[in-house]
Amino acid sequence: MNTSSGAPARPRPQLALVWPTEEEAQLQVGIHRLIGDVTADGGAIGYLAPPPRDETDAWLGAVLADVRAGDAAFAVATVDGRVAGCGLWQRRGAVATYRHSGELRQLMTHPAARGLGLGRRLVSGLAEHARAAGLELLTLGVRGNNQSAIELYSRIGFREWGRLPGGIAVGEERFDDVKMWLPLGDLRPAER
């Protein structure tokens, strides 16, 4: 197929969400590359510099252990079979009074895959997975200067519930830590 300029049209990338439960070598490599490239691009994912492979492998191992225990879900977005994004929900705590809620964490998309809708797929998929797992609400924290992420979360239904001024430190810079929440079920009013 040709476009109006005569150049062949690019094939549409194949996008997918996968839900791994085990550490596999290809996944470890893909996650390490993703975290390193997002961090090098200035992504707000908690690292000041791209971490070494043993650190990302340890993080992935801990996340997948929580997945196997039923306390988390880990979603990986792929483009043409390559890791291009990830995120997880994790229960807020091990005690019974918090097990109805979870936190979205480590949401990221590779700089080269931005604009494909992976962020929306990840957040929506994680929210639906958390709802199916019986969670009633999700929370998240986002850097106050990350307007595109705040807008995405708001479009999906998250609402801001608080803001800690200067709560995130990146070297000498300080950013607000914006807290947001999404109701997943019928939240009962608190008794006073």
Residue 10 falls inside a structural domain: no
CA distance 100 to 105: 17
Measured from the Cβ of residue 73, the count of other Cβ atoms closer than 10 Å reads 23
Strands 72-79, 173-183: pairing kind: unpaired
Inside any domain, residue 177: no
Q: Quick check: is 167 in a domain? A: no
Number of domains in the chain: 1
Amino acid at 106: Q
Record the pTM.
0.88
Residue 147 domain-assigned (yes or no): no
Is 59 inside a domain boundary?
Answer: yes
Residue 171 in any domain: the answer is: no
Residue 6 domain-assigned?
A: no
Strand order in the sheet with 173-183: 15-18, 72-79, 82-91, 101-109, 137-143, 173-183, 159-170
CATH number, domain of 114, equals 3.40.630.30
Strands 137-143 and 101-109: parallel
* Structural domain containing residue 41: 15-136
Tell whether 95 is covered by a domain. yes
Per-residue pLDDT of the chain (192 residues; tens, 9 = 90+): 455 566 777 778 899 999 999 999 999 999 999 999 999 998 888 898 999 999 999 999 999 999 999 999 999 999 999 999 999 999 987 778 888 899 999 999 999 999 999 999 999 999 999 999 999 999 999 999 999 999 999 999 999 999 999 999 988 999 999 999 999 976 555 555
